[in-house]
Structure 1
């Protein structure tokens, strides 16, 4: 509906309520001639007379009364929608659909989501976990949290932190198969990789020529970072994951970091990704601001 159509509706409804072009014009902060033009344009477009004019009074035709009744409903719905949006801006509310990978979901979001929901009690959170590229628009996600390279450049992204990756395995695996001393030796080891992100199968190492990408593989490919952690702890193989995923097992000695002297540990960004225009939503802004400023998130990274 155009702005002109709304003005026409407002004009004829005020005329119906006041019985006067002059009073309707005053209420709408317009001149009587402007109100008359609005009604005339509306009648011309519809091809029917809506107001019966005499020298002493104005009255609605039967068609005019029908139109005004429907127009009042429409104007009320528009006002309700505006009030709802303004109320939402004042206090973020409604369903917020967030998608993230298993590592970030379990080790970062999991511990801090209760704080977020306590701060914004009118927000309902739908949290999706997927270690794959998701279609934000097609699957109707409000926000996706992703680590590393960004995909679609048409999406809106805001950096909320950064992390790095570690290559590690359990003591049991290394005792049984040996500790690889060079990146090339990884070809003889069982390396567990995440599916859906081909670049994560090429592990970067420093070399005299620059960065050397070592292709790795093994008996298991999975779309879950959590599964990789569990498999490494069980002694199945070697993995390369975000440090926030393995920080506790490394501290406890249940995993051992390897090839640290040559592993290219480049910090990578963590982004909140939104569909175009999504960053203007109050509930989305509240969520991203909360993440970017939360001390536990900063400590985890």
Structure 2
């Protein structure tokens, strides 16, 4: 048995909870992965995995072995990567996931410039407003605008995302200008559907913090749709400034409640934990920090 390949197969089975998914990740057949695990168990004289028709999970011995094997493979990968990094030229495929609006408005131009800097890289960019699993989906970097929950993944802050309360001049002419956050309860509001705070808006000013449960007429998980609805006079929206900027500058939207501020969101780069971050991932994240931190100064 190739012990190293057996260890890699074992780790993938534990991570994916499935022989078939592990096989897909390793580009091996299910039977090949199963044989690797059987050979490992025979060699060690212990059962490493509990198997059911729907799921595979480590035994107590298997969990302890998994944690030690991760360290061993991490050291090997780090050694390989350290040698590869001496070449100082990132190559291969970089798989990136990002929110739809940020991807089209901000990340697209950045990706183009990054490709000029590192022409030997191939980049697969997947834009989606749905939450994805970076490990299950085989992603190198996932960009998220959110308040992150506890996770085993590593997150690096890229930049804050400021937000503003906006409405069209036509809407304000018909419904009046809100002067205080509590006035929003009398307005049609357009809300983002996937924020961790639900549909509550927090606005802070000199008189403290105000939590508003806006009476919404549109709830959607894409901020460009909210912006377009606000431009069309459908109501008041709490929008990321990078999405609202063009409409604010053109006069299609007007900022309201400017004495109050919503807490900024944060753009994070998320990647699986590793002892030695792949050069292509490190360079990409460093590039984003450099580019977007400069834009916020």
What TM-score does the superposition give when structure 2 sets the normalisation length?
0.66
CA RMSD between the two structures: 3.0
- By how many angstroms is 1:149 displaced? 0.9
Does residue 162 (structure 1) correspond to residue 181 (structure 2)? The answer is no
* Gap runs ≥5 in structure 1: 4-44, 46-77
Q: Is the 8 A contact 2:158 2:293 kept in 1?
A: no
Q: State the partner residue of 1:285.
A: 282
For 2:81 and 2:289, how far apart are their aligned partners in 1? 29
Q: State the partner residue of 2:242.
A: 244
Which of 264, 268, 271 is matched with 1:271 structurally? 268
- By how many angstroms is 1:300 displaced? 5.8
Matched residue SS, 2:197: helix
Q: Is the 8 A contact 2:204 2:262 kept in 1?
A: no
Q: Is the 8 A contact 1:102 1:225 kept in 2?
A: no
User: 1:216–1:2: structure 2 CA closer, same or farther, 3 Å change rule?
Assistant: same
- By how many angstroms is 1:218 displaced? 1.9
For 1:289 and 1:191, how far apart are their aligned partners in 2? 38
For 2:249 and 2:81, how far apart are their aligned partners in 1? 52
Q: Summarize deviations over 1:188-229 as a string: whole Å, max 9, x none.
A: 222112222241521112378842211124222211111111
Q: State the partner residue of 2:16.
A: none
- By how many angstroms is 1:2 displaced? 4.9
* Gap runs ≥5 in structure 2: 5-42, 44-75
Q: Summarize deviations over 1:107-135 as a string: whole Å, max 9, x none.
A: 22122221111111122222222224322
For 1:220 and 1:146, how far apart are their aligned partners in 2? 23
User: 1:186–1:203: structure 2 CA closer, same or farther, 3 Å change rule?
Assistant: same
- By how many angstroms is 1:165 displaced? 0.9
Does residue 299 (structure 1) correspond to residue 267 (structure 2)? The answer is no
The structure with the larger Rg is: 1
For 1:210 and 1:297, how far apart are their aligned partners in 2? 29
User: 1:278–1:101: structure 2 CA closer, same or farther, 3 Å change rule?
Assistant: farther
Matched residue SS, 1:201: coil
Q: State the partner residue of 1:258.
A: 256
User: 1:267–1:121: structure 2 CA closer, same or farther, 3 Å change rule?
Assistant: same
Does residue 211 (structure 1) correspond to residue 209 (structure 2)? The answer is yes
Q: Summarize deviations over 1:271-300 as a string: whole Å, max 9, x none.
A: 111122297011111111111112x66326
Which of 223, 227, 239 is matched with 1:229 structurally? 227
Does residue 104 (structure 1) correspond to residue 102 (structure 2)? The answer is yes
Q: Is the 8 A contact 1:191 1:239 kept in 2?
A: yes
User: 1:250–1:285: structure 2 CA closer, same or farther, 3 Å change rule?
Assistant: same
User: 1:84–1:300: structure 2 CA closer, same or farther, 3 Å change rule?
Assistant: closer
Q: How does 1:1-80 map to 2 (within 5 A)?
A: 1-2=2-3
- By how many angstroms is 1:153 displaced? 2.9
Q: Is the 8 A contact 2:93 2:123 kept in 1?
A: yes
Q: How does 1:143-182 map to 2 (within 5 A)?
A: 143-182=141-180
User: 1:191–1:298: structure 2 CA closer, same or farther, 3 Å change rule?
Assistant: farther
